[in-house]
Amino acid sequence: MKLDIKLSGVGGQGILSIATVIGEAATAAGLQLKQAEVHGMSQRGGDVQSDMRLSTDAICSDLIPLGQADLIISMEPMEALRYLPYLAADGAVVTSSQPFVNIPNYPDASALLAELDALPHVVRANIETLAREHAMPKSANMILLGMAAPSLKLLDAEQLRGAIARIFARKGEAIVNANLEAFELGLAHAKSVSQ
């Protein structure tokens, strides 16, 4: 079994933390893992993308071919759409619905959301608003990870919770708990959408 994930967003949004948690959970589960270099992190506000491949068998390449991604996880709706050519026909998109307007000719937000909603498998929410409403403004990325959890077929929610606890442990119990709470919020949202 394998799972090919395209991660995308804008520099500074926390996409690297999502990749770190998934990678930690996969390693602890004994899965094979390859991740392509993350591009764009050096520029806050620039586009960020990375390929992450998980498998029960050996993985030969760290790059996902066009049309082969099982999942796109994106912190930004335009960035999710940018990588649609990589998505498999039965693949899923999990994304924030809140645009990060960082260019003068940013597309119309309602058109972006309409294009996302036309996809067969999409879960989206305004994660930034959810994070603020629940007094966890720095944990929007963990809300997104929770939303993606049901689509991470090789990992279960408990494995992801454990990875969150290990990754954030050095920052203290309050940070661990905030990130776990954000993860649960996203997981609940994903479950409500799928029912």
Q: Which of 39-53, 90-104, 106-120 has the lowest mean pLDDT?
A: 39-53
Is the pLDDT reported for residue 42 higher than 60? Answer: no
Closest of 52, 25, 53, 28 to residue 164, by C-alpha: 25
What confidence score (pLDDT) does residue 164 get? 98
What integer is the mean pLDDT of 13-21? 88
Q: Any idea what the Cα angle at residue 46 is, between residues 19 and 118, rounded to 5°? A: 70
| Whether 74 contacts 125, CB under 8 Å | no
What integer is the mean pLDDT of 96-109? 83
- Cα separation, 32 vs 54, in Å, equals 6
Closest of 127, 116, 106 to residue 190, by C-alpha: 127
Is the pLDDT reported for residue 191 higher than 90? Answer: no
* pLDDT tier at 40, thresholds 50, 70, 90: low
Q: What is the mean pLDDT of the chain?
A: 90
* pLDDT tier at 103, thresholds 50, 70, 90: confident
How long, in residues, is the chain?
195
- Cα separation, 192 vs 146, in Å, equals 12
Contacts of residues 60-67 at CB distance under 8 Å and 24 or more positions apart, as own/partner, are: 61/34, 62/34, 62/35, 62/36, 63/36, 64/4, 64/5, 64/6, 64/36
What integer is the mean pLDDT of 68-78? 95
What integer is the mean pLDDT of 100-119? 86
Instruction: Give 6-16 pLDDT, tens digit per residue.
Output: 999 877 678 88
Provide the token pair at 42: 């050096």
- Cα separation, 189 vs 123, in Å, equals 9
- Cα separation, 10 vs 179, in Å, equals 20
Q: Any idea what the Cα angle at residue 2 is, between residues 180 and 122, rounded to 5°? A: 60
What confidence score (pLDDT) does residue 15 get? 84
Catalogue all structural domains in the chain, each as residue range(s) with its CATH number. Answer: 2-98+113-194 (3.40.920.10)
* 92 vs 11, higher pLDDT: 92
The burial class, CB within 10 Å (0-12 / 13-18 / 19+), for 157 is middle
What confidence score (pLDDT) does residue 10 get? 79
* pLDDT tier at 52, thresholds 50, 70, 90: very high
Is the pLDDT reported for residue 151 higher than 70? Answer: yes
Instruction: Give 163-176 pLDDT, tens digit per residue.
Output: 999 999 999 999 99
- Cα separation, 130 vs 2, in Å, equals 31
Is the pLDDT reported for residue 41 higher than 80? Answer: no
